[in-house]
Chains A and B, each alone.
Chain A
Amino acid sequence: MELFNNLIFGFAVALSWQNLLYCMIGVSVGTLIGVLPGIGPLATIAMLLPITFNVAPVGALIMLAGIYYGAQYGGSTTAILVNLPGETSAVVTCIDGYQMARQGRAGPALAIAAIGSFFAGTVGTLLIAVAGPPLAELALKFGAPEYFSLMLMGLVAAAVLAQGDMIKSLAMVAMGLLLGIVGTDVNTGVQRFSFGITELSDGIGFIVVAVGVFAVGEIVANLGDPEERRVFTEKVNNLMPSWNDLKQSIMPIIRGTAIGSFFGVLPGTGPAIASFASYMVEKKVAKDPSRFGKGAIEGVAGPESANNADAQCKFIPMLTLGLPASGVMALMLGALTIQGIQPGPDVMTTRPELFWGLIASMWIGNALLVVLNLPMIGIWVKLLKVPYRLLFPAIMAFSAVGIYSVNTSSFEIYLTALFGVIGFIWIKLGCSPAPMLLGFVLGPMMEEHLRRAMLMSKGDPSVFVTRPISLGFMIVTALILVVMIAPAVRRRRVDIAG
């Protein structure tokens, strides 16, 4: 009952006309920057920070939060329409969302992304309200061994991502792991594979690789095969998902939300991991996994829900422990500190209007985003009717400016060009870039946690099985391996017998 009263109080705060206006501004700006690659919530919130000096703390936080989750909505739009991941987390959406668009189903893909995100946002918001502090406690149970076991599980499951040749996909994962190593080694400070280039000392940016291999690589491939592209622009069917689409998406949305909430609470997992996890789960449980990569709506519904739940739940460690799980959260923390507020375990009692007002505004923001996004679909889909020769220069321009803005660095542009060429060659050689990106995200973290775990245990590998949570992940990993290898072994037996 107390919760109910608190929520009412929160809505009263969030529904004041100023705060509603801040929320509206926040989500609109967020959607815009979400659509643009490279320019993300981090840079935008940093630029807007001084403006918040003169705004009440609640309003400031509501606006900044709106930018953050608005960007999650916007990021999927370009991923679906033109294979351009607007935000890191939208990379997974490129895989099936773009294929749906090519089949003239951009409308349903965009709609299901918005609906899934809204559902996940609602659940995520409720989770913060109901179980914020205990969930944060749970997150503290994760040390280096737990993170390593969790990521190992993810890596083994990555084989599911395979389209066609399993060995090829696994080799691409290894390729990603290797690319992820570039930069300064966390444990020793040694530079690896940086070729003496200072810009590489912090590693290769995820968005550089993603835009390079997906967007630029795809453009080059499209320009080589104009035939295939024409089919794509002429066939645009219904805008809204059919009843059947919705039925197919319900379970993926629920599962994606659960997965995203889990990863969101854990501060040590980066973006995109939740979306990848959801995608792999959907492909594994699907009756016909071969549809994935060819425009399966579950491959959009699940990951889109997961990344929004992840984004919402990232607030939990920030609000309840005062710990930023990402750069964006660090900036929000900074914004609050400037106002003289220090988030932490007691913020719920000392500043209830802030805590509950923010929570209510998150839900309102998510609702606003659906209302904003659904009517936009018609306009977005019309964009696909623009002849490709006019459309792709715009994609190039937005990608270039966006990537340049991440670090004000031309070097990143050169890298993008390089990855464009590499990505195109991969497409030609039948090596799909998605497993590579998963390896790229997981690699550095896996190595970091493995070596840290070994350092802390003084080289005793039994830490991975003596700690209960880690042991649990290890068992699941073993089970996945068995499930994966068993059919292959059986098949071989049959082959030999036959």
Chain B
Amino acid sequence: MLTKRSLLLTAAGLLVALTTSVAAQSDYPNRPVRLIIPFPPGGSNDVVGRVIAQHLGEALGKQVIVDNRSGAGGVVGTEVAAHAQPDGYTILGISLAHAVNPWLYKLPYDPIKAFAPVGIMGKGPVVLSVHPGLPVHSVKELLALAKQKPGDLQYASAGVGSFQHLSAELFKLTAGVDILHVPFKGGGPAMIDVMGGHTKVMFSSLVQTTPNIKSGKLRALGVGSTERSKILPDIPTIAEAGVPGYASENWWGIVAPAGTPAPIIAKLHEALTKAQASPEAQKYFDTEGATIVSMSSEEFGRFMVSEMNKWEQVVKKGGIKAE
């Protein structure tokens, strides 16, 4: 009886698979799409993903369900997506971590070849800030202090291999200074420690930091974007303030498993563009000090490769290890 049933099931499955592969591209999507977020609920990856998912769903005409698969700095969820059916019903929300993980972990997937790029959602710069009790008011003064007593200054980060950690290491490499890394479990605890004056320096996402910069609990010295931020127009970029060539921005994007048919990628890209234009997405990115960016799928693919190369240098020269 069991075999008979499983046979029937297989037959039915085959039938469904056949019909879908033929009809897939014309009537896609005909069921909900799963957006894997390889991070737990609550973080910036998750919130960005949820805002976009809602509108992505409206543009596609079928719901987009967010599926949090967190673990190992995003590796767990990314692996699930890498091995999912390339039928357009599983897509993955990625961030800068995707371009950094290859240099930190042994990956059970190829970060570039296993995926077909869909598009980028936006970028958010890092901001360099210090506790107001520290007698430095500019990037140059900070560099002077760090050179005076190498290794004496300490900076807080959201953890080993985090965006904050890498931004700081890039800063140290570019400016040639030595500041001691003090890792925390997440950006929140790190910021609390700096606001309390225990650690003095911090690289953090502009997102979380803005309200405390505005209230004077933290003193911002520079932003990591190539242009000044709209929400903090008085703060110079780190590059113009004394570390030429420095740029560090987190980014969020969407990829699909490699082999997803091109027409489906095009449909997803079109829907993503619509989702980016929604008022919620605009408002969210604005308040966070992030910017919405558009790229074609191919451009986004090239961007991912260039980001991987950039951070490979930082991870290797900075001696960052996570294993």
Q: Judge A-B direct contact (beta carbons within 8 Å).
A: yes
Q: Which residues of A contact B (CB under 8 A)?
A: 42-43, 45-47, 49-50, 53, 139-144, 184, 186-191, 198-199, 201-202, 267-268, 317, 321-325, 327-331, 334, 337-346, 407-409, 448, 452, 455-456
Question: Quick check: B214 and A344 within 8 Å, CB to CB?
Answer: yes
Contact of A186 among B47, B79, B183 (CB under 8 A): B183
Question: Quick check: B161 and A42 within 8 Å, CB to CB?
Answer: no
Question: Quick check: B188 and A324 within 8 Å, CB to CB?
Answer: yes
* Given A330-B42, A331-B41, A189-B160 contact (CB < 8 Å): yes
Contact with A along B149-187 (1 / 0, CB 8 A): 000001000011100000000000000000010111100
Question: Quick check: B54 and A191 within 8 Å, CB to CB?
Answer: no
Interface hit among B90-98, B114-122, B278-286: B278-286
Q: Which residues of B contact A198 (CB under 8 A)?
A: 71-72, 75-76, 79, 108
Question: Quick check: A408 and B69 within 8 Å, CB to CB?
Answer: yes
* Given A455-B182, A456-B182, A323-B192 contact (CB < 8 Å): yes
CB distance from B97 to the nearest CB of A (A): 13
Q: CA–CA, A331 to B50, complex, Å? A: 11
CB distance from B8 to the nearest CB of A (A): 26
Question: Quick check: B42 and A143 within 8 Å, CB to CB?
Answer: no
Q: Which residues of A contact B321 (CB under 8 A)?
A: 188-190
Chain B residue with the shortest CB-CB distance to A50: B54
* Given A190-B323, A267-B189, A322-B212 contact (CB < 8 Å): yes
Question: Quick check: A456 and B68 within 8 Å, CB to CB?
Answer: no
Question: Quick check: A344 and B42 within 8 Å, CB to CB?
Answer: no
CB distance from B103 to the nearest CB of A (A): 12
Question: Quick check: B50 and A49 within 8 Å, CB to CB?
Answer: yes
Besides A42-B40, A184-B72, 8 other A-B contacts (C-beta < 8 A)? A140-B195, A144-B198, A186-B185, A187-B183, A189-B161, A321-B217, A323-B192, A343-B211
Question: Quick check: A340 and B198 within 8 Å, CB to CB?
Answer: no
The size bracket of the interface on B is 35 or more
Tell me whether B305 is interfacial, beta carbon within 8 Å: no
Q: CA–CA, A159 to B72, complex, Å? A: 34
Question: Quick check: B42 and A139 within 8 Å, CB to CB?
Answer: no
Question: Quick check: B42 and A327 within 8 Å, CB to CB?
Answer: yes
Tell me whether B193 is interfacial, beta carbon within 8 Å: yes
Tell me whether B66 is interfacial, beta carbon within 8 Å: yes
Contact of B50 among A46, A139, A187, A408 (CB under 8 A): A46
Chain A residue with the shortest CB-CB distance to B160: A189
Tell me whether B11 is interfacial, beta carbon within 8 Å: no
Chain A residue with the shortest CB-CB distance to B213: A344
Question: Quick check: A50 and B50 within 8 Å, CB to CB?
Answer: yes
Output the residue of B193, B210, B283 with the most chain A CB within 10 A: B193
Chain A residue with the shortest CB-CB distance to B66: A46
A-B contact pairs, 10 of them (CB 8 A): A49-B50, A53-B54, A142-B196, A323-B195, A331-B42, A337-B287, A339-B283, A340-B287, A346-B211, A455-B182
Question: Quick check: B196 and A141 within 8 Å, CB to CB?
Answer: yes
CB distance from A135 to the nearest CB of B (A): 13
Q: CA–CA, A331 to B182, complex, Å? A: 26
Tell me whether B199 is interfacial, beta carbon within 8 Å: yes
Q: Which residues of B contact A53 (CB under 8 A)?
A: 54, 280
Q: Which residues of B contact A188 (CB under 8 A)?
A: 160, 321
Q: CA–CA, A191 to B161, complex, Å? A: 13
Q: CA–CA, A53 to B50, complex, Å? A: 11
Q: Which residues of A contact B6 (CB under 8 A)?
A: none
Q: Which residues of A contact B71 (CB under 8 A)?
A: 198-199, 201-202, 407
Tell me whether B67 is interfacial, beta carbon within 8 Å: yes
Question: Quick check: B217 and A337 within 8 Å, CB to CB?
Answer: no
Output the residue of B211, B214, B286 with the most chain A CB within 10 A: B211
Q: Which residues of A contact B184 (CB under 8 A)?
A: 186, 452
Question: Quick check: A331 and B47 within 8 Å, CB to CB?
Answer: yes
Tell me whether B70 is interfacial, beta carbon within 8 Å: yes
CB distance from B197 to the nearest CB of A (A): 8
Chain B residue with the shortest CB-CB distance to A266: B192
Contact of B41 among A42, A142, A191 (CB under 8 A): A42
Chain A residue with the shortest CB-CB distance to B76: A198
Tell me whether B256 is interfacial, beta carbon within 8 Å: no
Q: CA–CA, A327 to B41, complex, Å? A: 7
Q: CA–CA, A191 to B73, complex, Å? A: 12
CB distance from A261 to the nearest CB of B (A): 18
Tell me whether B139 is interfacial, beta carbon within 8 Å: no
Tell me whether B12 is interfacial, beta carbon within 8 Å: no
Contact with A along B308-323 (1 / 0, CB 8 A): 0000000000001111
Tell me whether B43 is interfacial, beta carbon within 8 Å: yes
Q: Which residues of B contact A327 (CB under 8 A)?
A: 40-42
Q: Which residues of A contact B296 (CB under 8 A)?
A: none
Question: Quick check: B192 and A268 within 8 Å, CB to CB?
Answer: yes
CB distance from A88 to the nearest CB of B (A): 14
Question: Quick check: B198 and A143 within 8 Å, CB to CB?
Answer: yes
Tell me whether B25 is interfacial, beta carbon within 8 Å: no
Question: Quick check: A342 and B211 within 8 Å, CB to CB?
Answer: yes
* Given A46-B41, A46-B66, A50-B53, A139-B192 contact (CB < 8 Å): yes
Q: CA–CA, A184 to B104, complex, Å? A: 13
Tell me whether B215 is interfacial, beta carbon within 8 Å: yes
Q: Which residues of B contact A341 (CB under 8 A)?
A: 287
CB distance from B321 to the nearest CB of A (A): 6
- Pick the 7 closest A-B CB pairs, nearest first: A344-B211, A143-B198, A189-B160, A330-B42, A140-B196, A46-B41, A334-B47
* Given A202-B71, A268-B192, A338-B79 contact (CB < 8 Å): no
Q: CA–CA, A142 to B192, complex, Å? A: 9
Question: Quick check: A337 and B288 within 8 Å, CB to CB?
Answer: yes
Question: Quick check: B47 and A202 within 8 Å, CB to CB?
Answer: no
Q: Which residues of B contact A43 (CB under 8 A)?
A: 41, 68
Contact of B76 among A45, A199, A328, A329 (CB under 8 A): A199
Q: CA–CA, A345 to B216, complex, Å? A: 10
Chain A residue with the shortest CB-CB distance to B216: A345
Q: Which residues of B contact A448 (CB under 8 A)?
A: 185
Q: Which residues of A contact B182 (CB under 8 A)?
A: 452, 455-456
Q: CA–CA, A323 to B192, complex, Å? A: 8
Contact of A321 among B53, B159, B212, B322 (CB under 8 A): B212
* Given A46-B68, A408-B68, A342-B51 contact (CB < 8 Å): no
Question: Quick check: A407 and B195 within 8 Å, CB to CB?
Answer: no
Question: Quick check: B53 and A267 within 8 Å, CB to CB?
Answer: no
Chain A residue with the shortest CB-CB distance to B43: A330
Chain B residue with the shortest CB-CB distance to A334: B47
Question: Quick check: B70 and A202 within 8 Å, CB to CB?
Answer: yes
Q: CA–CA, A115 to B40, complex, Å? A: 33
Contact of B322 among A141, A184, A268 (CB under 8 A): A184
Chain B residue with the shortest CB-CB distance to A187: B183
Question: Quick check: B193 and A143 within 8 Å, CB to CB?
Answer: yes
* Given A184-B322, A322-B211, A202-B72 contact (CB < 8 Å): yes
